[in-house]
A = this chain, B = another copy of it.
Amino acid sequence: MEEPVSKPKAWIISVGNELLIGRTINTNAAWLGRKLTFLGFEVERIVTVPDSIDDIAEEVSRALGRAKVVVTTGGLGPTYDDVTLEGVAKALGLPLEVNSEALDMVKRFYEAKGLELTEHRVKMARLPRGAKALPNPVGAAPGSLVEAGGSVVISLPGVPSEMKAMFEEHVEPYIKRLAPRLQVVECSVRIVGVPESSLAPIIEKAYKLSPRVYLKSHPEGYETGNPVVTVKALASSHTREAAESEAKKVLEYIVRGARELGASISQEGCS
């Protein structure tokens, strides 16, 4: 059996009171978590903070010592409470200043609509000193990418269509080289007729079969009566075949044990 692959860590910092008061569901973080996982990173934290410079700076500072990649979303717009880059700059000990590339982007965006640069529009071009400006193909606010202290801090807008486009076009190619070239495969089985608490000892043993497989059981519906439990195995390896075979080995052990307890298996597959 190969050694488990050591993965660089990633943190996601979601900025916005609307997330904390539950008006908005944080779908951005889930999307980024999946992306970063399949790129070969281990997502260690998703932290949601208020639109406050100090709170943002506090969490970015914590991430700096620990994560290779830090992605913030939200708080890049023109309004008074868009303060993400102030928080990032504070954490990095850098001044915030008008970035000429970013200013060009903002200028072109508004010129195309016949609008002038105002103070609040120029604000969107103020990035931490030394940052690379990331073009926004959908909206007005550029993103920011800064390397500091062994980490890369990437700041993207909170509007999902802008965030996704910028991540795929500009962030993904950049951070790919920071992670090992891994193939990540997820396989699952759906076990019907045995409660999760009866599967627990089997899953525990299965887990020990492979340190490179992340295993999780998800009870669906009630645990007893007609219990349904989906078990998922996420495996990473240097080839897709190796990852899939590792995930399947572990799941097959569980399926065998579950069948002995009288379960039926209703679904199997890998993605």
Chain B min CB distance to A67 (Å)? 12
A217 at the interface (CB under 8 A from B): yes
Q: Which of A14, A26, A124, A201 has the most CB of B within 10 A?
A: A26
User: Which residues of the other chain, B, contact A26 by a CB distance below 8 angstroms?
Assistant: 25-26, 29-30, 46
Please name the residue on chain B nearest to A138 by beta carbon.
Answer: B222
**How far, in Å, is A127 (CB) from chain B's closest CB?**
17
Q: Is the CB of A19 within 8 A of B30?
A: yes
Residue of A24, A80, A218, A225 most packed against chain B (CB within 10 A):
A80
Q: Are A196 and B45 in contact (CB under 8 A)?
A: no
CB distance from A130 to the nearest CB of B (A): 26
B23 contacts A46, C-beta separation under 8 Å = no
In whole Å, how far is A244's beta carbon from the nearest beta carbon of chain B?
Answer: 17
Chain B residue with the shortest CB-CB distance to A106: B197
By the criterion CB–CB under 8 Å, are A224 and B47 in contact? Answer: no
In Å, the complex CA distance between A57 and B231 comes to 26
- Contact between chains at B79 and A115 (CB < 8 Å): no
Contact B118 A234 (CB under 8 A): no
Which listed residue, B23, B50, B139, touches A232 by the CB 8 Å rule?
B23
Which of chain A's residues 199-251 have a Cβ closer than 8 Å to chain B? 199-201, 203-204, 207, 214-219, 222-225, 232, 234
The answer on a CB contact under 8 Å between B34 and A30 is no
A80: chain B residues at CB < 8 Å are 200, 203-204, 207
23 A-B pairs with CB atoms under 8 Å apart are A17-B214, A17-B216, A18-B218, A20-B43, A21-B33, A21-B34, A22-B29, A22-B32, A23-B34, A23-B186, A25-B30, A45-B47, A45-B48, A45-B55, A46-B47, A77-B196, A77-B217, A77-B219, A115-B195, A115-B224, A120-B201, A139-B223, A140-B224
A20-B46, A25-B25, A79-B200 given; name 18 further pairs at CB < 8 Å.
Answer: A17-B216, A19-B30, A20-B37, A20-B43, A21-B37, A21-B43, A22-B30, A29-B48, A47-B48, A77-B196, A78-B196, A79-B204, A80-B204, A81-B215, A81-B216, A113-B195, A113-B224, A113-B225
The 3 closest A-B pairs by CB, nearest first: A22-B34, A22-B33, A113-B224
